[in-house]
Structure 1
Amino acid sequence: MQLQNSFEQVVQQMMKDDLFSQWLGIQVLEVKEGYSKISMLVRPEMMNGMGIVHGGIAFSLADSAFAFACNNRNQLSVALDTSIQFLKPVHVHDILTAEAVELHNGKSTGLYLIKIFNQNQHLIALFKGTCFRTSKKIIP
């Protein structure tokens, strides 16, 4: 990702320190104010005991997209509430894309809807996140 604006610079800084998102193999595709789009390849070690991918993988992808969208104004924001609805199973070798869209940008809170699609453009999950905005900066 070529840095084109301060929103992307904040997300790049976040990714540098986010070992979990790195372990997931997340690729940042697009960042705009209050928005992010990321993707990842599902690997065999992400399977659960029932032969499908662990639900925490889709949740974690959505949570990262949420974090990148709600923090990219360089105002440290933390999750207050999150929820996810799983619509379709995820399988090994699926390529998942999460798109976070800001629904509300308040002074102290923000509301985001994250849609996760697989490589066939099937909607596999919906994630909703509410964040609390602190007075701290990610990049001083």
Structure 2
Amino acid sequence: MSGATGLSPEALARACADAMWREDRASQGLGMEIVEIGPGRATLQMTVQPLMVNGHGIAHGGFIFTLADSAFAFACNSHNDRTVAAQGSISFIRPGKLGDVLVARASEISRSGRSGIYDVRVTAGDTVIAEFRGHSRSIGGTLVPTEANHAT
């Protein structure tokens, strides 16, 4: 159990994701779905829609970045510390195509103090589309009420 909330780390990660998802109009609006959540990890998916295709007939990199960034956000907020991106970079490896179901798998590489590093691999089937690395920064506060928040 996680002392402050009374939840297991897995249940806490899910509760944090649920709290974030309720307010995440960007991810919802692009048709993203949460596939899996756990402590320090998150998997999201999104289908490449016609409005996401650029002038070369492939998935616009900005949408691929946004999917990776959303997976990163859910992974780095899974410990119930409000966390934002401090920096993110992406390397595009192969193009995504109209109709592809892109899957972004984020995993925690390092977390110390207020800082973290997360890697996100974006795939379409067995094809790696992009690799993203994000640096996070905790900003204070929680997503899920803790026992201390309930004390009177």
In the superposition, the TM-score normalised over structure 2's length comes to 0.86
Aligned to 1:5, the other structure's residue is in SS state: helix
Matched to 2:139, the amino acid is T
Match of 1:124 among 122, 126, 129: 129
1:60 corresponds to which of 35, 53, 66: 66
The equivalences for 1:43-54 within 5 A come to 43-54=49-60
Aligned: 1:134 with 2:134: no
Aligned to 1:126, what secondary structure does the other structure show? strand
- Aligned residue for 1:70? 76
CA–CA distance in 2 between the matches of 1:52 and 1:12? 32
Quick one: distance in 2 between partners of 1:82 and 1:33?
A: 20
Q: Distance in 2 between matches of 1:94 and 1:18?
A: 23
Read off the aligned partner of 1:116 and give its amino acid letter: V
Residue segments in structure 2 that go unaligned for 5+ positions in a row:
1-9, 146-152
The aligned amino acid for 1:103 is I
2:23 maps to which residue? 17
Query: TM-score, normalised to structure 1's length?
Result: 0.93
Structure 1 stretches of 4+ with a deviation exceeding 3 A read none
Q: Distance in 1 between matches of 2:86 and 2:129?
A: 23
Deviation digits for residues 115-140 of structure 1, max 9, x if unmatched?
A: 00002x10010000000112211233
Aligned length: 136
In the alignment, structure 1 residue 32 sits paired with structure 2 residue 38: yes
2:143 and 2:79 map into 1 onto residues whose CA distance is: 9
Give the superposed CA RMSD. 1.0
CA positional deviation for 1:48: 1.3
Paired with 2:132 and 2:23, the residues of 1 have a C-alpha distance of: 23
Which residue pairs with 2:4 in the alignment? none
Q: What residue ranges of structure 1 are gaps of 5+ in the alignment?
A: none
Deviation at 1:40, TM superposition (A): 1.1
d(CA) in 1 for partners of 2:44 and 2:51? Answer: 20
Separation (CA, whole Å) in 2 of partners of 1:12 and 1:64:
13
State which structure, 1 or 2, has the greater radius of gyration over its C-alpha atoms. 2
Distance 1:70 1:113 in 2: 11
Rounded Cα–Cα distance in structure 1 between residues aligned with 2:143 and 2:44: 20
